[in-house]
Structure 1
Amino acid sequence: MTKATVIRARGMVTLAGEGPARGEQLFAPLRRLDDAALVLVNGRVEEATGWKRCSPPPGAEVRDLGEVCLAPGVINAHCHLQLSHLAGRTRWGGGFSVWLESLIPLLREPLSAGAVAGACEDMAARGTAHVGDVAGEGLALTDAAARRAGLGITHFCEWFGMDAPFIDGGRPWPPRCREALERSSVPVTDVSVPLEARCAPAGHALYSTAPEVLREARQWCLEQGRVFALHLAESAEETSLLLEGGGPLFEVYDGIVLPDDWRHPGLRPLALAMKLGLVGEGTLAVHGVQLDPQEMAVLAASGAALCLCPRSNAHLAVGDAPFSSAVENGVLCCLGTDGLTSNTDLDVRQEAVFLRERCDAPPEALLRMLTVNAAAALRLPRAGRLERGAPGAFCLLPESLCF
C-alpha cells in the first residue's frame, strides 16, 4: 500500500546534489526554495520543489507547517546514549579531570532503558535522522531504542583499558559488545542489514586504550570499510599526560586504567595517533580542542574527519571547539553533542546555533556540517540530502540557521 505525504513550508534547503565540503567550499551559497513542497512516498523523497510545481500522488495527505524552513534530517556524529540516565549529575566547569572524577562512581549504576528510549525519541522529534553512538554493554538496548524512535544509528563499539586483548576467536568486538552482537541476527526493517554491519570497533582514547588494540581496530575498520572513531586531543590534561606523564588525568587513572608499568610516550596526541597509524581516510576524530594549526593541517591532509562538540567543550571548560582552525586548514568537519553527562540535550542543531552565536559561523557552513559532511564522515551515502530516492527525514531549521 502506497503512503504519500506532502509537506508544505515557507522555505526548504534540500542540499540536493551536494557532497562533503571543506574549507571555502563550506561557505558556498545554498539554494533555498520558497513556498516549498516535500513529497514523500513510503518514507522516501519523491519530489522536493516549489508548491506550485509539485505533483503529489492522488490521495496524498497534505501537511502545511507554515512559517518554517525545512532541511534534511540532521546527523549527530558523536553521542553517548548509554549515559543518558546520568543527565545533570556530573560536575561541569572545573576541567576534564574534575568532570571525570564525578562521572566514574556513577558508571557503576545500571543502565536505564527508559532514559535511552527517551533520549532517542527526543532526538528524533527534533529532526535528528542518524546518530553515531559510542557503544558498550547496552548495545542491544540502545539499538532497539533507536529503531523504535525511527533513528538510524551507527554503533562505535569502544575498547577501553590497557590490558584487553583485541582478538578473541577472530572477532574484533570488545567484551562489552560481543554478547549482544553474537545474539543478534535480526535485520533492521528499513535497510535489511544485521546489527553487526552497523557496528565498528573503536578506541576510547590514546591514554585509556592499549596501543596494539587501537592499531588492530583501525586496521580491521580499513579492511572492512568501516569508520574508526576515537576521542582525540580533547583536553590539556590529555596532552600533559601523554607528553609528560603526569597531571590531573594521571592522578585519576593511575593504578586504575594505567598499569604500574605504563610509560608516557612523550608525544602530543596527534603525533602519537599518527605514529600508531590511526589517522587517515575513514577515521573520525572527536573533539580536537587541543590541535594547533599545524596539527590541523596534518589532520586535513590525512583525509580524516573531525567531529566538533562545542557545547560539551564549553561545559567542561576544556577550551573552545576549533571551528575556525579546522575550516581554514580544510578538515572535513561535522558536529556531535557528546552525551547528557556533558551537555544539556542531544539536539545537534543546537551545536550549530552555538557556533553561529560564538564564532559567527555562517549558516551555509553549519548546515553542511550537520548533513552532507556528517553523512560522509559516517559513510552514509543517501543521508543528508532531500532528493529523489533519499530517506524522507527532515528537520525544522532554527531561526538563526535560516538564510
Structure 2
Amino acid sequence: MTFTPEVIDLLIEARWIAAVDPDVVLKNHAVAINHGRILAVLPASEARTRYQAAQRVTLDEHILIPGLINLHTHAAMSLMRGLADDLPLMEWLQKHIWPAEAEHVSAQFVYDGTRLACAEMLKGGITCFNDMYFYPEAAATAAAELGMRTMLGITALEFPTPYASDADDYLDKGLAVRELWRNNPLIGFCLAPHAPYTVSDRSFERILTLSEQLNLPIHCHIHETRHEVEESQRQHQQSPLERLHHLGLLGPGFIGVHGVHLAESDLELLAATGSSIAHCPTSNLKLASGIAPVVRMRQLGINVGLGTDGAASNNRLDLFGEMRLASLLAKGTSGDASALPARDILRMATLNGAIALGLGHEIGSITAGKAADLCAVNLGTLETKPCFDPVSHLIYVAGRESVSHVWVAGKCCVDHKTKPNPAQNDLDSAIALWQNKLEFRQEP
C-alpha cells in the first residue's frame, strides 16, 4: 500500500522549538501548519515524510517560540515617542501628553500611530497586543492591514476628549466598533476603564455589567504610583484594588496594569480572585513609579504577563527588552539569583498574556490545535555564540534585532527581517507629518 503525504500549507523546521506548553525545548523538530493552525509538532525527519507542504522554511540556527504578547500598550502613542521625557507621571500626563492629545488625536492620528506601532512590534516578534486608546475603529483598521492580532480597549474616562464626551459616550462608541469587527478572527476587544482615579463607581458598575454580558476582559491601570493609592485612601477609605473588589470587578477576566505599589492585602486579593497583572518594568522605571513586586506575585500564584506600555513612556515597543529587565529586576530586588528564570519569563511574555486575555486556548504556546502565531529568533550570529541554553539566550543575549521571521495565524508578516507590505509605503511621510505638527505645539 502506497503512503500519500498529507498536503499542508506550511512546514517550519527549526534547530530548537520552545513550546512553552508543555515546558519543553525540542531539538530538530518541525511545526506543521494548515489553514493558519498548528496541526502537529514532531521530529523534522518524520514531518518531511508525513507532510507535503506548499512552503517549507528551514531555520538551522534558530529557536522557534510562540509569538510574543504585549499585554499592555497605547499603540498610537508611538507618534509621541520622546515627546516629553524625564518627567514624573502626573506632570508628564497633565502638562504634556493630555494637552498634545487634546490638540492632535483624531482617527487619522490613531490609524497612523497604530500602523507605526504594529510595524515595530511585528519586527520585534510581537504578534498580539492589548491596546488602550481612543478611536478603536482606526486602530482595528491599522492592525488588520498589517495582519496583526489585537485586543482593542473600549476605553472609558469621565472627562471629555475629542473622541467622546463622557464615560457612557466612550463605551457606546467602543461597543459600536466591536459590533463592526466582531467577525474578524484577529480583532478582539477588552473593556478598558483608564484608572480608578478617572472613572466613577457608576461607570465601573456599567463596565462590570457589560463584561458579564459580553464576556469581555477588563483592562485597567491600577496602583501605578504611591500618590494614586494615597488619594484613594483619602477619598474612598480603601485602596484602589479594594474599591474595585467591592464593586465586583476583580476576577479571572481582570487585567491590572502596573501594580507597583501593592500591600500584602492587595496581593492576596489579586490571588484570591484569579486576577492578572500586566507588568511594564521599563515604563515603571522611566516614570519613577517604582518596581512591581513580581516575585511575591508569582509566589502567590498570580498570573503575570508583560507589557511595554506606550512608546511615549518607554520608549520602545520591545518585549525582548522587557523580558530581560523583568528577570534582572526580580533577581536584584529579591536577592535571589534564581528568581524568575528564563523559562518563566518566556511564559510571562507568551502564555501568561494569552491567559490574561482569555485567549489561552488560542495562542501563547506551540501546541497542536492553536493558531500559528510564531516567532523565529536567530541564535547563529557572532553576538549570540556560543549557545548552551537557547531559552536562556532568548532572555539574556538575544534582542529584537535577532528576530528573523514572524507568522500570525500562519501568515508570514516578517520574512528575513523584512515586512512584506507595500501598502505601508506612505508610513514614513505620515510619521514626518505628525512630527512636524507635534513639534510645532511644543514650548521653546
Give the TM-score category using the shorter length: 0.7 to 0.9
The answer to whether the 8 Å contact 1:297/1:329 transfers is yes
Amino acid at match of 2:344: A
Amino acid at match of 2:358: R
CA distance in structure 1 between the aligned counterparts of 2:181 and 2:127, rounded to whole angstroms: 23
Q: Is the partner of 2:97 in helix, strand or coil?
A: helix
After superposition, give the CA deviation of every residue in 1:12-66 in whole Å (9 maximum; x if it has no partner): 11134x5xxxxxxxxxxx2110122222223221222222232453254222223
Counterpart in 2 of 1:302? 273
Counterpart in 2 of 1:142? 139
Alignment of 1:163-174 (within 5 A): 174=171
**In the alignment, is residue 4 of structure 1 matched against residue 4 of structure 2?**
no
**Distance verdict in 2 for CA 1:208–1:4, change over 3 Å:** same
**Distance verdict in 2 for CA 1:336–1:186, change over 3 Å:** closer
Question: By how many angstroms is 1:215 displaced?
Answer: 1.8
Tell me how many residue pairs correspond in the alignment: 358
**Distance verdict in 2 for CA 1:139–1:179, change over 3 Å:** same
**In the alignment, is residue 207 of structure 1 matched against residue 197 of structure 2?**
yes
CA distance in structure 2 between the aligned counterparts of 1:365 and 1:280, rounded to whole angstroms: 23
Counterpart in 1 of 2:29? 36
Amino acid at match of 2:371: P
**Distance verdict in 2 for CA 1:115–1:185, change over 3 Å:** closer
Q: Which deviates more, 318-327 or 265-274?
A: 265-274
The answer to whether the 8 Å contact 2:157/2:166 transfers is no
Match of 1:115 among 113, 116, 141: 113
- Coordinate RMSD, CA, aligned: 2.5
After superposition, give the CA deviation of every residue in 1:332-364 in whole Å (9 maximum; x if it has no partner): 111111111111221223211211233242112
Alignment of 1:245-260 (within 5 A): none
Question: By how many angstroms is 1:185 displaced?
Answer: 5.9
The answer to whether the 8 Å contact 2:154/2:175 transfers is no
CA distance in structure 2 between the aligned counterparts of 1:130 and 1:176, rounded to whole angstroms: 23
CA distance in structure 2 between the aligned counterparts of 1:186 and 1:282, rounded to whole angstroms: 19
Q: Is the partner of 1:321 in helix, strand or coil?
A: coil
Question: By how many angstroms is 1:200 displaced?
Answer: 3.5
CA distance in structure 1 between the aligned counterparts of 2:350 and 2:74, rounded to whole angstroms: 20
Match of 1:322 among 287, 293, 309: 293
After superposition, give the CA deviation of every residue in 1:147-192 in whole Å (9 maximum; x if it has no partner): 1222111112111116976657xxxx5255366457x36732x46x
**In the alignment, is residue 82 of structure 1 matched against residue 76 of structure 2?**
yes
The answer to whether the 8 Å contact 2:76/2:117 transfers is no
Question: By how many angstroms is 1:216 displaced?
Answer: 1.5
**Distance verdict in 2 for CA 1:389–1:126, change over 3 Å:** same
Question: By how many angstroms is 1:10 displaced?
Answer: 1.8
Amino acid at match of 1:135: Y
TM-score by length of 2: 0.74
Question: By how many angstroms is 1:311 displaced?
Answer: 0.9
Counterpart in 1 of 2:354? 375
After superposition, give the CA deviation of every residue in 1:232-283 in whole Å (9 maximum; x if it has no partner): 1001121122223xxxxxxxxxxxxxxxxxxx22322222222222212311
Q: Which has the higher helix share?
A: 2
Q: Is the partner of 1:201 in helix, strand or coil?
A: strand
**In the alignment, is residue 51 of structure 1 matched against residue 44 of structure 2?**
yes
The answer to whether the 8 Å contact 1:91/1:102 transfers is no
Match of 1:273 among 244, 252, 255: 244
Q: Is the partner of 2:237 in helix, strand or coil?
A: coil
Amino acid at match of 2:171: P
Question: By how many angstroms is 1:212 displaced?
Answer: 0.8
CA distance in structure 1 between the aligned counterparts of 2:41 and 2:268, rounded to whole angstroms: 37
TM-score by length of 1: 0.81
Counterpart in 1 of 2:148? 151
CA distance in structure 1 between the aligned counterparts of 2:132 and 2:191, rounded to whole angstroms: 10
After superposition, give the CA deviation of every residue in 1:100-135 in whole Å (9 maximum; x if it has no partner): 232122112132533321211221232222111113
Amino acid at match of 1:11: W
Q: Is the partner of 2:40 in helix, strand or coil?
A: strand
Amino acid at match of 1:387: T
Amino acid at match of 2:183: P
Alignment of 1:329-348 (within 5 A): 329-348=300-319
Amino acid at match of 1:158: T
CA distance in structure 2 between the aligned counterparts of 1:375 and 1:179, rounded to whole angstroms: 25
Match of 1:132 among 130, 142, 147: 130
Counterpart in 2 of 1:248? none
**In the alignment, is residue 349 of structure 1 matched against residue 320 of structure 2?**
yes
User: Relative contact order (C-alpha < 8 Å, sep 6+): which is higher?
Assistant: 1
Q: Is the partner of 2:61 in helix, strand or coil?
A: coil
CA distance in structure 1 between the aligned counterparts of 2:175 and 2:54, rounded to whole angstroms: 45
CA distance in structure 2 between the aligned counterparts of 1:133 and 1:123, rounded to whole angstroms: 13
Counterpart in 2 of 1:257? none
**In the alignment, is residue 13 of structure 1 matched against residue 18 of structure 2?**
yes
Identity of aligned residues (%): 25
CA distance in structure 1 between the aligned counterparts of 2:77 and 2:205, rounded to whole angstroms: 27
Q: Is the partner of 2:358 in helix, strand or coil?
A: coil
The answer to whether the 8 Å contact 2:178/2:189 transfers is no
Match of 1:98 among 72, 91, 100: 91
The unaligned stretches of length 5 or more in structure 1 are 19-29, 245-263
Amino acid at match of 1:328: Q
The answer to whether the 8 Å contact 2:8/2:32 transfers is no
CA distance in structure 2 between the aligned counterparts of 1:302 and 1:181, rounded to whole angstroms: 27
The answer to whether the 8 Å contact 2:81/2:311 transfers is yes
The unaligned stretches of length 5 or more in structure 2 are 1-6, 332-339, 378-390, 398-444
